Amino acid sequence: MTNLKSLRLFFVSLLFTGLTLVLGTSELKAQDVANGADLYKANCASCHKLDKKMVGPALAGITERREQEWLLSWIRNSQDLIKAGDEQAVAIFEEYNSIPMSAFMHFKDEQILDILAYIENPPVVVKPGAEAGGVEEVVEAQGSSTSTLFIAILILLVSLYAVVKAKNALKSASDEEVVSLHVALKRWLKANPGVMIVLVVLVVIGGIKVTWAGVFDTVGMAQGYQPEQPIAFSHKIHAGENGIDCNYCHSSARHSKTSGIPSANVCMNCHTYINEGTQTGTTEINKIYEAVGFDPETRTYIEGYEKKPIKWIKIHNLPDLVYFNHSQHVNAGNQECQTCHGAIEEMDVVEQHSPLTMGWCIDCHRETEVDTDNPYYEHMNENWADKFNGEKITVEKIGGTECGKCHY
């Protein structure tokens, strides 16, 4: 009996240890790389990469280039540093087109340090075929919590199996009845309901963690979505090299809820005369001619030709429950296309740059200052002057985070 009590105590200790692992108490410490990876993915990855510039600078080696206290201040609220005239802050702001970085006032120092720890020590993967010792690709940590959960449950199940086997062996040694493992397991669990409760709790917690991880990965899963279009249209050539204004093609963005897909007739305003592209020659432009029925040799439309619609693939999709108005953001908000779509003028193939999640939109509304000189707000300025008494007026303060603004 003494041996059985010892084994039971050992098993309960393993259960407690496994539960601690599952709950992640050992991971929630300062400068935890795994926790930093999760925070980085949720808050930083939409604008930054470790190894190359995006909306903001590449972050690899940032802790060597900047002091820790400065980084804490910058990440928490970069605009405060800029307004204070900090030379480093102003230089970065100007270098990256004066696009304000989101503030993370709610972050604790430990969370920011976790992110910096991840940036200093990102997990690496060496692809098969890469030279020995060479790192071919840096990837973000994923599934760390799920792996911990799986290992913890595996340890518990193996321990349970070992205890039941040991109990059978002890009974056999004392000339008691030896039963099958299945029966012994049922009897043992019946005699130890606390263990069964703990196992059920572990399974429930595991299910919740796995489900949450799946939901977290699903939200924003379209970020980086880059489908192949029926015509290889390059925004880099048109908007970048040739400087064509976005509103020339997406004219409805200024006066409509949607930005609109330009008709082939808009393309033909230029391509009636421009018959060859700098990258693809005549191949892609001929697809436009085929759609509208145009003969580039005679520069005339083919009489009686049955036009074929160009089946562009929509990239930026919001749920049906979300109301978004392009004209409101362009006219009232004075927002540039790049605010949401990234450096579109640098993209050969367009991708969804921003996560377009609710949290991302709300953060923007909390940080973006209303341009009170905009004639759109002229009739409201007097009321605002009394109400806010010189304070910074953000979109949030004029109702930009109310549920009914986007969901009704």
Q: Is the dihedral of CA 379, 383, 386, 389 positive or negative?
A: negative
Instruction: For the chain, 408 residues long, give each residue's pLDDT as a single digit of tens.
Output: 444 555 555 555 555 555 554 444 333 344 578 888 888 877 787 677 787 776 678 888 888 888 889 988 888 888 888 888 998 888 888 887 677 787 787 788 888 888 888 888 876 544 444 343 333 333 444 444 555 566 567 666 756 665 665 566 555 555 555 555 566 666 766 776 776 777 777 778 777 877 776 665 555 557 888 989 999 999 999 999 989 999 899 989 988 999 989 999 999 999 998 998 888 899 999 999 999 999 999 989 999 999 999 999 999 988 888 999 999 999 888 899 999 999 999 999 999 999 888 889 999 999 999 888 888 877 776 677 678 877 888 999 888 899 998 997
CB 152 within 8 A of CB 22: yes
Which of 336, 184, 187, 196 is closest to 254 using CA atoms? 336
Consecutive H or E run containing 373: none
- The SS3 assignment for 355 reads coil
DSSP state of 67: -
Domain boundaries, the chain: 2-26+145-218, 46-139
Whole-structure pTM value: 0.49
Consecutive H or E run containing 137: strand 137-138
Q: Which CATH number fits domain 46-139: 2.60.40.10, 3.40.30.10, 1.10.760.10, 1.10.1070.11?
A: 1.10.760.10
CB 235 within 8 A of CB 248: no
Q: Is the dihedral of CA 25, 27, 28, 34 positive or negative?
A: negative
